[in-house]
Amino acid sequence: MLMHVGSFHLDVDSKRATPWHSLAPQTRLLCALLSVFAIALTPNGHWWTWAVYGLGVVSVMLLAQVSLLVLLRRVAIEFAFIGTVLLGTLFQRGGELLWSWGWLQITTEGLVVLGSVTLKALLSLLTLNVLILTTSVPALLHALTLLRTPPLLVAIISLNNKMLH
């Protein structure tokens, strides 16, 4: 099994004393969620916008002093699952035809969509993993409660956390 229940900790870097950690957990949660929504809602092909988002994510990573190896391991595992979905975005219709083999066609539009979705997924995963690495699960659950998340949803998330431990 990939993750052993006894040795799997979500919040590896939650005890550090950094400016990021000094923010209230609900502020960190809102920052992460707003960043993910901004990343996801940016239209395809806006490369410079994602470069700015990337600088923001790297800045927060440095500010929070996350364990880079742990972060990259987690993102690599999660990205392996997303990779299967990403492959399907390559075969979009439209744009100039670059390669064809039977009914499989790679077009310029397919490459733009693949690159865009890949960047969106990568930046979103980095953002959420920094949040999870730097905020304890009880603090995240409390932040969700303070942000008026429906109690049933918080309870379901809480039960998932108890199943991991």
Residue reference for tokens 């990343």: 39
Residue type, 16: R
Residue type, 57: V
Q: Which residues contact 49 (CB under 8 A, 6 or more apart)?
A: 42
Residue 164 pLDDT: 54
Question: Whose CA is closest to 114, among 136, 92, 135?
Answer: 92
Residue reference for tokens 């998932």: 160
120 within 8 A of 39, measured Cβ to Cβ: yes
Residue 162 pLDDT: 62
Residues of the chain under the 70 pLDDT cut:
1-9, 160-165
Q: Three-class SS string for the chain?
A: CCCCHHHCCCCCCCCCCCHHHHCCHHHHHHHHHHHHHHHHHCCCCCHHHHHHHHHHHHHHHHHHCCCHHHHHHHHHHHHHHHHHHHHHHCCCCCCCEEEEECCEEEEHHHHHHHHHHHHHHHHHHHHHHHHHHHCCHHHHHHHHHHCCCCHHHHHHHHHHHHHHC
pTM comes to: 0.86
Residue 30 pLDDT: 97
Residue 55 pLDDT: 98
Q: How confident is the model over 30-42, as pLDDT tens digits?
A: 999 999 999 999 9
The total of other beta-carbon atoms located within 10 Å of residue 124's CB is 21
Residue reference for tokens 């049933």: 152
Residue 3 pLDDT: 45
Residue 7 pLDDT: 42
Residue 6 pLDDT: 39
Q: Sketch the domain layout of the chain as residue ranges.
A: 19-134, 137-165
CA 129-132-133 angle, 5° bins: 85
